[in-house]
Amino acid sequence: MGEFIIIGIDLGTTYSCIAVWRNGHVEVIANEQGNRTTPSLVVFTSTERLVGDEARQKNGIDFKNVVSDVKRLIGRNFNDMEVQSDLRYWPFKVVNKQGKPYVQVEYKNEIKDFMPEEISAMILSKLKDYAQDYLGSENVVKDVVITVPAYFNDAQRRATKDAGRIAGLNVLQIINEPTAAALAYGLNKTIKGEENVLIVDIGGGTTDVSLLSINNGTFTVKATAGNAHLAGEDFTNQLLDYFVEEFKRKYDKDISTNLRSLNRLRRACERAKCILSSSFYASIEIEYLFDGIDFYSSITRAQFEELNSDLFEKILEPIERVLIDADLDKSDINEIVLVGGSTRIPKIQKLVSSYFDGKELRKTVNPDEAVACGAAIQAANILGDQSESIKNLNLYDVISLSLGVDNRGTTVDTLIKRNTHIPAEGKDIRITCHDGQTVIRFRVVQGERELVKDNTVLGEVVLEGITSAPRSETKVELTYKVDINGIIHVSAVELGTGLSREITILNNELSQEEIERLISEAEMYREEDRKARERIQSMNKLDDYARQLLKRLNNEKDRYKIKIEDEEKLRNIITTTIEWISNHHDASKEEYDEKRNELLNLASSFFK
């Protein structure tokens, strides 16, 4: 009988990570290539769909069909300013469908449109497979805790949960990434009394800052802030723009019009950015970048820091905000913990340390794995694991953005303020504005601004059938509830009559029918992936066997076992077979198997 296991997943913008709690500690699960993080990439070809490291290998070939950064699309509207600013950097196409961004690719020689949730589900499904292989068939991988940026709004959280459902996972909880990182940091640390810990999480797509107090196994989030569009990808984009301009200046040619050239340059910029975290200099060398021109250039760490100086300075804004919201001074912070790959950038470390008057930064947790480890710890906590280190674990998180209702369509009345501990509840009484009114409408608003237009409108709630009466006599009690996932539920009750309605916000959340359809499609893709994997395995078996035979023919010990004329014949057939494989990567499994059997039978008849 297998164990009941819950896994933790950090679904990142550029890389994802998966972990599990077993035998009293966290284990990070490696992928097929042995890597402990997996690229958040999906590539579509004429024959198959690839995810993760396999997709990365195809990045230069099928660049228009390599989908990345989908976390920057999930739960958003097509016309969102952040989406529009990213479009020019992506080689893949994003189209507008009913106001939502869909990824458009060519798959099996057909144009296909995918919701961001579907792409995310493909990544989650792959991670789920890695966990299943690691834990064994006797342990069914179904339940999961998934992390999201603290500054994800309701729509983005719902969409992430939907992605998990499409992947065939039961999402038990959505938790904030910096909160998860704090769990990973504080779990095995000996803390005397209460300690204020600042988590600075800068990954590929987002920046999050959370301030927690840790006291005897109790983790209490005091404040959180962030920027949902400030991180490693933006630093890379600054480099990309710099070299596009340099190329234009040197050769009077604009490579931004050529997606293939732009994609090659972007990958070189990504490598240079990573190199500059450990070196003071990085070179860019790309042959035939554009119009047959070889592009050779370089950049220093100082230049990189200057290019991104404005963005780096913005990282301090959420740090200042959480201190104000928590009513704490810099001197009240006991520890500063850096997580996320972008915190490896020396300038960011220096800025954060300098802001706290040279305070030492804690780097005791792996920045790439801390969030997934924290998710796995919370998964074990939900499960009720009685391991000594977590049996007394308590986690109190907060809502990161205020929730309100529109007042006559223009201003916002706040019902639940940001940094309120969740689960949370807020109430408000709404009155009718017209005589004889039988329908009341109000908009659910998320954000910190005074005017509705400057915030995110999550949806419009409509309550029909209320009592017809003179203006302001009919009253409706509006209730907002925020669950442990940070997801919002709304209900309304007409006072006096007791007429009540549970309201579902009509935003990005998918219907049950849509979820079931997408689950069915996801299973279809999984079956296609399985067949593609078997086809590749058959191709590799044929190639391996042919090369083994060739090696045998070249071995002095085996050559006497075959006639000279047969040896020449077999050698020619082997050479022809290897050439055939290199020219027929798209052949069917049956073709590979048939050729291998033919070769097997021929070799058996020749060797005595």
Which are the catalytic amino acids? 10, 71, 177, 201
Q: Where are the alpha helices (DSSP H) in 38-153?
A: 53-57, 81-87, 116-135
- The pairing of strands 394-396 and 218-227 is parallel
Report which of 485, 504, 511 is spatially closest to residue 162, judged by C-alpha positions.
511
Q: Residue 464's beta-bridge partner residues?
A: 439
First-residue to last-residue Cα distance in the chain: 49
Report which of 297, 362, 304 is spatially closest to residue 334, judged by C-alpha positions.
362
Handedness of CA 133, 134, 139, 141 (dihedral sign): negative
Distance CA 152, CA 602 (A): 62
Q: What amino acid occupies position 384?
A: G
Radius of gyration of the chain (CA): 28
Distance CA 529, CA 484 (A): 35
* Contact yes or no for 424/399 (Cβ under 8 A): yes
Distance CA 347, CA 70 (A): 27
Q: What amino acid occupies position 175?
A: I
Distance CA 355, CA 168 (A): 44
* Residue 579 CB-half CA count within 13 A: 6
Cβ neighbours of residue 304 closer than 8 Å, sequence gap 6 or more? 235, 239, 272, 273, 276
Cα 569 to Cα 91, 525, 551, 562, 595: the distances in Å are 48, 42, 15, 11, 16
- Which letter, b or e, does each residue of 269-281 get, where b requires 16 or more Cβ atoms within 10 Å of its Cβ? bbebbbbbbeeee
CB atoms within 10 A of CB 495: 13
Distance CA 94, CA 85 (A): 12
Cα 50 to Cα 7, 542, 570: the distances in Å are 23, 22, 36
DSSP string, 241-308: HHHHHHHHHHHS--GGG-HHHHHHHHHHHHHHHHHTTT-SEEEEEEEEEETTEEEEEEEEHHHHHHHT
Distance CA 164, CA 141 (A): 12
Distance CA 153, CA 266 (A): 29
